[in-house]
Amino acid sequence: MSRLSETELAAKAFKMAWLTQNAHIALSRNLLPKLLPEADTKLSNREIAVLRWTADGKTAGEIASIMKITERTVNFHISNAATKLNATNKTSAAVKAAMLGFL
């Protein structure tokens, strides 16, 4: 097996970048659902908004005031999002939502 010269490597750089990107996409599609089942989760706009404010450090009462809804409704949306994301608390839900690109 011969090594690639600097010229050959430079000439094939675009194709190698394309190949690595496509390999990454294919592996992600196959592995992500197994490693992070929450990746296919669908959150409502309200759940996302509540989690954004939560990630900013706002309390349920402050979020209720900002969004002009009741504190009970805020807690309802947080609870639903946490259940969908398989999170143990609102902080964990906000972190998972951020990792999944919701926030």
Rounded Cα distance between 1 and 7, Å, is 17
Strand ranges inside the chain, DSSP E: none
| CB of 78 closer than 8 Å to CB of 93 | yes
Q: Is residue 61 pLDDT above 90, yes or no?
A: yes
Report, as an integer, the average pLDDT of 30-56: 87
Q: Is residue 1 pLDDT above 80, yes or no?
A: no
Residue 70 or residue 101, greater confidence? 70
Q: Is residue 73 pLDDT above 90, yes or no?
A: yes
Q: Is residue 72 pLDDT above 90, yes or no?
A: yes
Cα dihedral across residues 63, 67, 71, 74: positive or negative: negative
Report, as an integer, the average pLDDT of 72-83: 97
Q: pLDDT tens digit string along 2-19? A: 788 899 989 999 999 999
Q: Is residue 35 pLDDT above 80, yes or no?
A: no
Rounded Cα distance between 45 and 37, Å, is 20
Mean pLDDT of the chain, nearest integer: 91
How many other C-beta atoms lie within 10 A of the C-beta of residue 95? 17
* CA distances in angstroms from 87 to 6, 38, 62, 65, listed in the order given: 49, 10, 22, 25
